[in-house]
C-alpha cells in the first residue's frame, strides 16, 4: 500500500463507497469489552507500525470531522473543542516555566 491508496482490505463491491472514518480490516473485540487478564493478548494483536498508527489517527480525525464539523447545522462545539485542547496543550508544554512561579512572593 502506497501513500494515498485505499487500504488493502477495502473492496468496492463488498463495502460500497469508501469511508475514510471506517476500519476495513478484520473486526476485533472493542477495548471496552476486554477483560483485565486479556489486555496483553489484545495489545499483542494490534498493528503497531507507523503506517497503522497514522491510519488510526486519520480515522479518528475523519470520525470527529463527520460528527462535529461537517453536519449542516454543526454549532459551536468544534470551535470550543479546538480552543480547549489548544489551551491544555500549551499549558502542558509551558508547565516547566509556570511551575517555578507558584511559590514567588510578590511583596
Extents of the domains making up the chain: 12-74
Stated pTM of the model: 0.75
Distance from C-alpha of 16 to C-alpha of 13, rounded to nearest angstrom: 6
Distance from C-alpha of 68 to C-alpha of 76, rounded to nearest angstrom: 9
Closest CA relative to residue 3, chosen from 59, 63, 51, 47: 51
The tens digit of pLDDT for each residue in 9-66 reads 888 999 899 999 999 988 889 989 999 999 999 999 988 988 889 889 999 999 999 9
pLDDT (0 to 100) of residue 1: 56
For residues 34 and 44, the answer to whether their CB atoms sit within 8 Å is no
Measured in whole angstroms, how far is the alpha carbon of residue 94 from the centre of its chain?
23
Distance from C-alpha of 75 to C-alpha of 62, rounded to nearest angstrom: 18
Give the alpha-carbon dihedral of 40, 8, 4, 77, to 10 degrees.
-50
pLDDT (0 to 100) of residue 33: 94
pLDDT (0 to 100) of residue 78: 94
Amino acid at each position: 500500500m502506497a501513500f494515498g491508496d485505499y487500504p488493502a482490505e477495502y473492496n468496492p463491491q463488498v463495502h460500497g463507497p469508501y469511508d475514510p472514518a471506517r476500519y476495513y480490516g478484520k473486526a476485533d473485540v472493542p477495548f471496552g469489552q476486554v477483560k483485565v487478564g486479556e489486555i496483553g493478548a489484545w495489545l499483542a494483536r494490534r498493528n503497531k507500525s507507523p503506517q497503522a498508527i497514522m491510519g488510526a489517527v486519520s480515522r479518528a480525525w475523519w470520525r470527529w470531522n463527520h460528527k462535529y464539523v461537517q453536519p449542516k447545522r454543526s454549532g459551536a462545539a468544534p470551535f470550543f473543542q479546538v480552543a480547549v485542547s489548544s489551551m491544555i496543550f500549551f499549558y502542558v508544554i509551558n508547565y516547566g516555566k509556570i511551575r517555578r512561579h507558584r511559590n514567588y512572593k510578590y511583596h
